[in-house]
Structure 1
């Protein structure tokens, strides 16, 4: 699999919410509040990720997250691809063809994780999972279908911020490119320098990111 295709998918599905009984709906509303609090409780985080596209092709690397709005998907020093958000825009840098693509954070399904102005509770819908330890949230703006959608999956973990740990997500962009990203080996509160979210622009330099 070309890493560029994987990166395009990561920045571009969820099961729709079934009708709920009133008591269950009230309980799930509390879970939505807890999930929002868990996301907001992450100051910094590193985790290993495995990214899989709809054809079953996979890529691996390390994800670094820093609020507000910064993220880096590092596919390794020998990879030609890098995905970075500096808090305002999300960039996909392809060093194989010296190309940089840019999206405002709000225009990507990853806005559910990164955009400080995106209200996950406002746009999120709880999806039944069949387990009280698993919380699934479908995030999409019905007025902006071009922004795509994202299904966030949490499990209860007392060692994670807010008692919930984000284990994976499924992103679906406006072109129906579906990508699943699974996280492992979460590390919270790690020191993350601002330089993590900078990159060498291949349009001006032949240097690769370190």
Structure 2
């Protein structure tokens, strides 16, 4: 189980927008595409979706993703998986209930900050990855001076019915040890009511208590 879960945890903890460097001059279409992704992020106030997380060995875990702007995100894994990942607007927290461990990182140190912080500008830390399919838009965030932070690539389907004409399909994370984790989303729902209590969690450590939110 730990070998399945660790790559996503590492992917979520890599360098964020503050450390990622501006890309070289890009084509006008790329500038337009990055602007469209920015518009998508700013248009999404809340979102829920089912996710399937697949590691490099092909093992898959499922669960539900919940987002509330700005800065709140929750990965609720399938029954039997003792892991919870929550972003409460300030920190990204991974809670492992099996071993009673809690790890926290500033959301600014996670590439997911690009997805849950509408104030960020993708043109400063992302670049468009050509896919050969005009219906798919792929944007990669990475810091070339800090390869140990790995990379994350967000994948969007062009969909006129989605926010800003896009639908978040998922993302792929690759750490410095070439551990690849892919997250695919389905059943995306936007603008649904999401209470702040969804981003609270129970601390499994001794004398733990509910926190977050």
TM-score norm. by structure 1 comes to 0.84
Q: Name the CA shift for 1:31/1:117 in 2 (closer, same or farther; >3 Å).
A: closer
Are the structure 2 counterparts of residues 152 and 107 from structure 1 closer, same or farther at C-alpha, using a change threshold of 3 Å? same
How many Å separate the matches in 2 of 1:176 and 1:96? 26
Q: How does 1:27-46 map to 2 (within 5 A)?
A: 27-46=29-48
Unaligned runs of 5+ in 1: 13-18
Aligned-partner Cα distance in 2 for 1:111–1:144: 17
Q: For the structure 1 residues 111 and 146, does the alpha-carbon distance in structure 2 shift closer, same or farther, using more than 3 Å as the test?
A: farther
**Post-superposition shift, 1:103?**
1.0
Quick one: distance in 1 between partners of 2:87 and 2:119?
A: 15
SS at 1:132's partner residue? coil
Alpha-carbon offset, residue 133 of structure 1: 1.2
1:68-100 per-residue CA deviation (whole Å, 9 max, x = no partner) reads 111000013443110101011111101111110
Corresponding residue of 1:96: 98
Superposition RMSD on alpha carbons, in Å?
Answer: 2.6
Query: In 2, are the aligned partners of 1:109 and 1:147 still within 8 Å (CA)?
Result: no
Give the distance between the partners of 1:89 and 1:74, measured in 2 at CA.
17
Q: Give the TM-score taking structure 2 as reference length.
A: 0.83
Partner of 2:12: 11
Distance in 1, matches of 2:133 and 2:39, equals: 20
Deviation at 1:207, TM superposition (A): 8.8
Task: Say if 2:7 and 2:180, in contact at 8 Å, map to a contact too.
Answer: no
Worse-superposed segment, 195-204 or 69-78: 69-78
Cross-structure match for 1:113: 115
Q: How far, CA to CA, are the matches of 2:149 and 2:125 in structure 1? A: 12
* 1:95-127 deviation per Cα after TM superposition (whole angstroms, max 9, x unaligned): 111110111112223222134554322111111
Extract unaligned runs of 5+ from structure 2: 14-23
Counterpart of 1:199 in 2: which secondary structure? strand
Structure-1 separation of matches of 2:101 and 2:146: 27
